Structure 1
């Protein structure tokens, strides 16, 4: 599996699904009943409800999901993670205009290149080459392509653990927190992964033959590798592989990075999948994710805890 394939990293990302998948069945499709809250305006509860509404029935619950996430961002307008979730839900729901949300996210996190993924996709759909070039140039100035992965999982899984999504699964030993993590990571990855498709296309083997695009994609590759998921880092490394001369020193260096990232992702997943006390480990994972802002750091922490090497 090469991460340079558009969906290559999507097949192994994220590693947390390996733990949750062992403990529960996939979330059932159908109507979602939100759990009651004391005040009705808890921000993470609202966001979790929005995600669950979309995840259980995207076509039927889209407007309700948007209503819930809009309440969440209104209650916590300073939270970039919620604005990102709002943006991705908006893009998935017909009739929602993403531009105002992108503008707000850009204000909250001006160095995040992920805010340009939507405009890039729309430029490609319009076949507006000039706009695409301008957006790629803006991406070269970014500091990262973050999707607030660990933050969202850590904050949304606990309220979801008290919902029908987590508690209605028939199990010999109930694992509601692990079930909630399973649902959360499944739905978040379904929202995040397609966001990078336009960038993969813009920097594919054909487009990087153009000198100016090649320079931009090389710079974007470096930015992607500073991001908060193995998905974004893997896409960046895939672009780097396309840009290096085969068998050169730089190609060897990129290949080593790819092998290390794959090793950490897969080995961490194996450690997670081997855990017997699922609920206890899920709780520990959520605490770890609340502290660490990068999925890759979570992987390395798991390997250190398990006494396993960080390199293949």
Structure 2
């Protein structure tokens, strides 16, 4: 079985993005089949899927409609942090939307999450407010995790999206609507998630961690990032730890071992996914798995165990 050459540090996509190559399609681009808002009486997942599809197919034209849909979804299901996170990310990406009230709601719903401070950190950096940036990093050091509710969102939004014509912009030789919907969902969620973490990466870059207090804060933030529910964010935390570790030290070697293990699990599980012939049947099984396992890393390990593959390089 040939191993994929994807490098999660050079191209930090979550594992399931490797499904894209397996189904030979790509997320819809502007000009793909038009997306309509969810019908009246739709449930929260249907409205959230419509919001993501509206933004994903044409963010500039559909931004206000996407916000309207996700706002309805969070009103229908106010106790679901994954929908509030999606609302927050869409708000941040659409001009004119004020994210602070959504951040406050998510902070109450998931007080242990460090992701609720990412927007505030970015705004402090934009103002060049070093004092506020330090205070926000302090808040982040207390985070229990930096979850982005990855498996929950993919599992909940892919099925309703599979019932729309936006799952793929490329004709498929064998119809695979659920796989194509997962393709689109994963691509769009990745595009929303990655920019959110640029602020913390900048705050803990090589220049900033030369300052002792910032270095100490970034060490703690890195450990919280490593408790995230997605490979992407755990990898960012390990990258910061690698930057902080003394070269050739025992700590540096331990971090490298963890990086290599995470990279191996990401790539090897992706190879298993890409090798499947019955795409939609496997996609159904993956959704069931994601409904049980709340961390993408656990999904990777479960796939490897199922395939009889080693968990370490």
The TM tier, using the shorter chain, reads over 0.9
What CA deviation, in whole Å up to 9, does each residue of 1:182-237 have, x standing for no partner?
00000000000010001000000100000100000001111111110111110100
Distance in 1 of aligned mates of 2:149 and 2:197 = 15
- Give, in angstroms, the shift of residue 171 of structure 1: 1.8
- Which secondary structure does the structure 1 equivalent of 2:297 belong to? helix
Q: CA deviation at 1:172?
A: 1.9
1:184 aligns with 2:188: no
1:197 and 2:198 aligned: yes
Alpha-carbon distance in 2 for matches of 1:101, 1:40: 24
Aligned in 2, Cα 1:36/1:86: closer, same or farther, shift over 3 Å?
Answer: closer
Match of 1:28 in 2: 29
Instruction: Provide the residue aligned with 2:160 in structure 1.
Output: 159
Q: Could you tell me whether the CA contact under 8 Å between 2:38 and 2:46 is conserved in 1? A: no
Query: Is the Cα contact below 8 Å between 1:35 and 1:162 reproduced in 2?
Result: no
Query: Are residue 264 (structure 1) and residue 290 (structure 2) matched?
Result: no
Give the aligned CA root-mean-square deviation in angstroms. Answer: 1.5
> In 2, are the aligned partners of 1:32 and 1:52 still within 8 Å (CA)?
no
| Alignment of structure 1 residues 1-312 onto 2, 5 Å | 9=9, 11-26=11-26, 27-30=28-31, 32-34=34-36, 37=39, 39-166=40-167, 169-312=170-313
User: SS at 1:268's partner residue?
Assistant: helix
1 CA distance for matches of 2:168 and 2:251? 50
Aligned in 2, Cα 1:72/1:36: closer, same or farther, shift over 3 Å?
Answer: closer
TM-score by length of 1: 0.94
Cα deviation for residue 11 of structure 1 reads 1.3
Rounded Cα–Cα distance in structure 2 between residues aligned with 1:146 and 1:102: 14
Deviations 1:45-92 (Å, cap 9, x if unpaired)?
000000000000000000000000000000000000000000000000
In 2, are the aligned partners of 1:48 and 1:157 still within 8 Å (CA)?
yes
Name segments (4+ residues, structure 1) moved above 4 Å.
none
Q: Tell me the matched-pair count.
A: 305
Asked whether the equivalents of residues 142 and 223 of structure 1 are also in contact (C-alpha less than 8 Å), the reply is: yes
